[in-house]
């Protein structure tokens, strides 16, 4: 387990009360749970606590995903969270909960919090785009649409993984050296990278052919998770012209276990950064659409605790050019609708400085010596994110395992 960052006693204080899906030896069926400090509380064992909450049926909290709960009105999420907060605020109340309702985090297995039907990964960070462009082309340029709208691609849902699941180095065809100037070979990826991201989990759906503006998009957000969008850079570089990344992003996409609610993050909404040009109507956000979440990436070699890994990056979601509210509005503008449990992610979140690179690619500037190469087998990547004392995401962690040779 990654300990909280210095100055923070816990990511999971009474101001957080996130939701996840957990199981344990004594609670073998995965169901919804919350976390308070190092305690995991199974919500299906707390029926009396939620009595009288309108629209909350008995079965919702016993499901193996949060989909049914996330689809309920925001007022239900608020009511459930407030009842739980009122328990946590009282001394010794946890001990008064029914037998088997509370377990220590170390005794619990976490599962994917939602069953996602569509996952989109956007490109919100100007700094990431320009750093990556400089690494790949020598020039700090941005795609033609960048300042007009968040661009992005559809990701794969079958390879979404819960934090802790190892990611296997993928096989694929890739450039052996500089794209376009080297050979194309088949075998294990040679340029495995992480990407530091945040994703919104959709709660309230939006019907097909309906739209939502950025100023109203937050009403559709159930909560947020950290995401490591593992990227096979050499595979990606070959395949992405002109249809974008596919297998380069499909080895695994790691999600943090606890969905931090939109309500828990509401106090950390801040003004979005100034933009270089006006946005069109559907992207206009009303006031505080950015989030102030401090982010960190650590990489640790085999045998070293994740918490002792080298800090590769410190970043912040508020530095992004586009916000997730705007990404949601953009996703919906073409008429595809939004479904509960859809994931809409930010893309790599970077700052301007070398200590603020959200992925390794950004270090690989032509003619410069990078501080390190791409990921080695056995290395563990740990993302963490936090807002304040008691409000954080915990960790999003995964170890890179060696490629399995083609055996078919």
Q: Which residues bind its own copies (CB under 8 A)?
A: 117-118, 120, 123, 143-145, 148-149, 151-159, 168, 170-173, 179-180, 184, 186, 208-209, 211-213, 216, 232, 235, 238-248, 250-252, 280-282, 330-331, 333-339, 342, 404, 406-408
Burial class (CB in 10 A: 0-12, 13-18, 19+), 109: middle
Instruction: Tell me how far apart the alpha carbons of residues 63 and 73 are, in angstroms, rounded to a whole number.
Output: 17
Shortest gap between Cβ of 88 and its own copies (angstroms)?
Answer: 36
Q: Name the E strands within 145-266.
A: 151-154, 160-162, 167-168, 171-175, 184-188, 192-193, 196-202, 221-229, 231-232, 253-255, 260-261
77 is catalytic: no
Residue 247 near residue 174 (C-beta atoms within 8 A): no
Residue among 90 and 277 whose Cβ is closer to its own copies: 277
Shortest CB 369 distance to its own copies, Å = 26
Decide whether 94 or 157 has the Cβ nearer to its own copies. 157
- Min dist CB 311 to its own copies, Å, is 28
Residue 62 neighbours by CB under 8 Å, 6+ apart? 29, 31, 32, 44
Q: Pick between residue 49 and residue 157 the one whose CB is nearest to its own copies.
A: 157
Please identify which of the residues 128, 174, 220, 330 carries the catalytic annotation. Answer: 128
Smallest separation (angstroms) from its own copies to the CB of 134 = 14
Instruction: Measure the CA–CA gap between 110 and 273, rounded to whole angstroms.
Output: 35
CA distance 385 to 268: 13
Nearer to its own copies, 5 or 219 (CB): 219
Q: How far is the CB of 21 from its own copies (least distance, A)?
A: 18
Q: How many CA atoms lie within 13 A of 43 on its CB side?
A: 32
Cβ closest to its own copies, residue 189 vs residue 297: 189
Q: How many other β-carbons are positioned within 10 Å of the β-carbon of residue 267?
A: 11
Nearer to its own copies (CB atom), residue 119 or residue 319: 119
Widest CA span in the chain: 67
Nearer to its own copies, 210 or 352 (CB): 210
Please tell me the distance from the alpha carbon of residue 198 to that of residue 273, in angstroms, as a whole number: 17
Beta carbon of residue 304, minimum distance to its own copies (angstroms, whole number): 25
Instruction: HSE, CB side, 13 Å, CA atoms: give it for residue 15.
Output: 15
Phi, psi of 85 (to 5 degrees): -60, -40
Query: Where does residue 303 fall: left (phi above 0), alpha (psi -120 to 50 degrees), or beta otherwise?
Result: left
Cis peptide before 242, with omega less than 30 degrees from 0? yes
Compute the distance between CA of residue 285 and CA of residue 44 in angstroms, rounded to an integer.
Answer: 37
- Do 197 and 349 form a contact (C-beta atoms < 8 A)? yes
Q: In the bound complex, what is the minimum distance in angstroms from residue 14's beta carbon to its own copies?
A: 36
**Cβ-based nearer residue to its own copies, 3 or 117:** 117
Torsion 125-128-131-137 (CA) sign: negative
Tell the smallest beta-carbon distance from residue 204 to its own copies (Å): 14
Active site residues: 128
């Amino acid at each position: 387990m990654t300990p909280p960052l210095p100055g923070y006693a816990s990511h999971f204080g009474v101001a957080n009360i996130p939701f996840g899906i957990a199981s344990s030896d004594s609670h073998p069926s995965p169901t919804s749970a919350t976390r308070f400090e190092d305690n995991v509380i199974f919500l299906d064992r707390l029926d009396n606590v939620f009595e009288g909450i309108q629209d909350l049926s008995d079965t919702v909290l016993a499901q193996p995903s949060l989909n049914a709960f996330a689809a309920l009105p925001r007022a239900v999420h608020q009511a459930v969270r407030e009842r739980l907060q009122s328990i946590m605020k009282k001394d010794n109340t946890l001990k008064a909960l029914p037998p088997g309702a509370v377990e220590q985090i170390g005794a619990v297995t976490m599962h994917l919090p939602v069953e996602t039907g569509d996952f989109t990964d956007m490109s919100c960070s100007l700094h990431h785009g320009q750093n990556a462009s400089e690494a790949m082309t020598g020039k700090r340029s941005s795609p033609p649409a960048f300042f007009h709208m968040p661009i992005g691609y559809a990701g794969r849902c079958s390879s979404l993984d819960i934090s802790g699941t190892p990611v296997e180095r993928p096989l694929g065809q890739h450039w052996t050296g500089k794209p376009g100037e080297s050979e194309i070979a088949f075998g294990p990826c040679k340029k495995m990278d992480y990407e530091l991201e945040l994703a919104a989990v959709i709660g309230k759906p939006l019907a097909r052919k309906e739209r939502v503006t950025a100023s109203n998009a937050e009403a559709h957000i159930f909560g947020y998770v950290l995401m490591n969008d593992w990227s096979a850079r050499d595979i990606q570089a070959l395949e992405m012209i002109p249809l974008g990344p596919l297998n380069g992003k499909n080895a695994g996409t790691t999600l943090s276990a606890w969905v931090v609610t939109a309500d828990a993050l509401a106090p950390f909404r801040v003004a979005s950064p100034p933009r270089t040009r006006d946005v069109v109507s559907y992207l206009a956000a009303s006031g505080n659409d950015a989030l102030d979440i401090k982010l960190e990436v650590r990489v640790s070699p085999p045998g070293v605790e994740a918490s002792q890994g080298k800090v590769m990056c410190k970043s912040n979601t508020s530095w992004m050019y586009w916000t997730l509210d705007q990404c949601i509005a953009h996703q919906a503008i073409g008429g595809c609708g939004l479904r509960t449990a859809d994931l809409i992610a930010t893309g790599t979140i970077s700052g301007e400085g070398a200590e603020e690179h959200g992925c390794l690619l950004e270090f690989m500037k032509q003619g410069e010596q990078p501080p390190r190469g791409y990921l080695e087998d056995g290395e563990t990547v740990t993302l963490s994110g936090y807002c304040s004392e008691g409000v954080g995401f915990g960790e999003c962690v995964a170890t890179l395992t060696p490629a399995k040779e083609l055996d078919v």
